[in-house]
Amino acid sequence: MAMRPNTERFTAAVRHAVLSALLLGATAPAHALFGDDEARKAIIDLRGRLEIQNRDTGARLRELSTSVGALNTSVGALSTSIEALGQRLDRLEQLARGQIELQNQIELLKQEIARLRGQVETQTNELAQTQRRQRDLAAEVDGRIKPFEPVSVQIDGKSVTVEADERRSYDAALTAFQAGDFAAAANGLAALRARWPTSGYAANALYWSGAAQFAQKDYPGALASHQLFLARHPAHPRAADALLSVAYCHIEGGDKKAARRSLQQLLERYPDSAAAPQARDRLATLK
């Protein structure tokens, strides 16, 4: 497309040269053209060369026109390719921008994930510390409460629930009795009965109170304790022993008649008890 004006100027120049030659021939004198054979020959030769030149020029012009057309077609195709390439470059540029934006979003998400992971780790550590403190506190509370919680104990073959302090008081009194400290045992048992009158240890506390009093030669006190024990717990496993102690208290008090009556009651009520042989032997001596 850009070379077409040059072709037209070239064609116009050739035409101008041909016309100039024809005009020169037309204006020359007639005797000069036809009077001289050599002149005629020159003109004929010139005309032949002009015709050949015209033919060559026309052929060249046609070839040039064809080349220009092909060039124009190539230029058009190239323009189309360039346009297509430009569109493709635009798409690639848009795609690149999209990838850059996507990469930026990915980086932001990574940062957010890292931040959230840090928060989760912090909260996890705080939760672990809180749970550890709660366990420690629960253990401490259990340690403080446990000594005061009721406990289940076996008393004379029966399962009984007693308070922790109640159990400790009873065990301390029996320990004192076994150690021979009968006064401490008697005081401890009396305190237990006063604080827990309905205790599961009440029957045994009353029996061992009478035994501690008897060991201290407090026969009236021992007699009262064992008689009360028998009145409240006649079916107790230690009832025969308590009745034997009552008989001994009467003997120590000089009341042999009451002593014989107590021994006879023991043999009648508890003939198979471990105290029965002692009662039988003691009754024989009293007769």
Query: Can you give the pTM of this predicted structure?
Result: 0.51
Domain end: 53, 74, 101, which one? 101
**In this predicted model, what pLDDT tens digit does every residue of 231-242 receive, in sequence order?**
999 999 999 999
pLDDT band at 3 (very low <50, low <70, confident <90, very high): very low
Q: Has residue 10 been placed in a domain?
A: yes
Number of helices and strands in the chain (H, E)? 10, 2
DSSP one-letter code for 35: S
Going by pLDDT thresholds of 50, 70 and 90, the confidence category of residue 32 is very low
Provide long-range contacts, Cβ within 8 A and 24+ apart, for 259-265: 259/286, 260/286, 260/287
Cα separation, 278 vs 260, whole angstroms: 13
Which SS3 state, helix, strand or coil, does residue 34 take? helix
What is the pLDDT confidence band of residue 17, given thresholds at 50, 70 and 90?
low
Residues 80 and 183 reside in one and the same domain: no
Name residue 162's beta-bridge partners. 151
135 domain residue, yes or no: no
The lowest-confidence range among 34-43, 106-115, 242-251 is: 34-43
| 146: DSSP letter | G
Question: Which pLDDT tens digit goes with each residue over 46-97?
Answer: 888 888 887 888 788 788 778 777 877 877 787 787 888 888 888 888 888 8
Q: What is the pLDDT of residue 147?
A: 56
In the predicted model, is pLDDT for residue 10 greater than 70? no
Domain match, 78 and 166 both: no
Structural domain boundaries, residue 166: 162-286
Q: Could you give the number of structural domains in the chain?
A: 2
The residue ranking higher by pLDDT, 20 or 217, is: 217
Clarify whether residues 172 and 275 are in a common domain: yes
pLDDT digits (tens, 9 = 90+) for 128-185: 888 887 787 766 655 554 555 778 888 888 888 999 999 999 999 999 999 999 999 9
Rounded Cα gap, residues 194 and 202, in angstroms? 10
Q: Please give the structure tokens belonging to residue 117.
A: 């992971």
Task: Identify whether residues 185 and 281 lie together within a single domain.
Answer: yes
Residue 107 lies in a domain: no
